[in-house]
A = this chain, B = another copy of it.
């Protein structure tokens, strides 16, 4: 990077931007598809198109990992798959527990994409005694009482919370106390965790609301602007119109 060194700046290691990390899985997926089609190399342009980003961004992202490409040629697909997998920590197996086996928890348990990439459902946990013992996705549901033992026995460091919002924080606390340091939260609640624990959230309702915001914009401004605040709610005429388009390409993320 800074230096013109080619072979892995050695100590650069830290400092992969969070935004880049969030895109690595995207690149990996695109590369895996190419790999299955036995494509040997790709240019940044082609791969970027497949991943839905622009090529400059992709090259910059890869530059944080090292110089894995060949000028005038492109990137070796297999090699990149390996490097990104390694960077993401997917060369090892991550046991995961899912807590809260309702509709969503069961759906996730059945989700194939899990095992495909280094993740293994180590246990399904539910607070309902009725659920305990039942089979979901070929796995026997266990009662919450077992949570600490399960986590400890399996060395689980990643937990998925699919409980009702009311109990999400306490489930989270127990997971953390038992040794979990990464949590994927599907419950519509803000979780507070100690330093060193990562939380990512997935929230259907929030996503829909963001879409609604833009949708309203597209429909025309009359609606929202029509009423002098203190006043009465809208009527919202609506009428198509493309204009604004939040962004040419993709919506976006954001850090925390």
A127 at the interface (CB under 8 A from B): no
Total A residues in contact with B, Cβ cutoff 8 Å: 111
Contact between B256 and A190, CB atoms less than 8 A apart = no
Residues of chain B with a CB closer than 8 A to A230's CB: 79
Task: Establish whether residues B255 and A250, one from each chain, have CB atoms under 8 Å apart when the complex forms.
Answer: yes
Give per-residue flags for A20-38: 1 if the beta carbon is below 8 A from chain B beta carbons, else 0.
0110111011100000000
Q: Does A4 lie at the interface of the complex (its beta carbon under 8 Å from any beta carbon of B)?
A: no
Q: Interface stretch among A139-147, A170-178, A211-219?
A: A211-219
A199 to B248, CA, bound (A): 9
Interface pair B22/A254, CB less than 8 Å apart: yes
Shortest distance from the beta carbon of A37 to any chain B beta carbon, whole Å: 14
Map CB proximity to B onto A192-207 as digits: 1 under 8 Å, 0 otherwise: 1001101111111111
Q: Which residue of B lies closest to A206 (CB)?
A: B25
CA distance A66 to B229 in the complex (A): 10
A132 at the interface (CB under 8 A from B): no
Chain B's closest residue to A192 (CB) is: B52
CA–CA, A102 to B112, complex, Å?
12
Contact A87 B252 (CB under 8 A): no
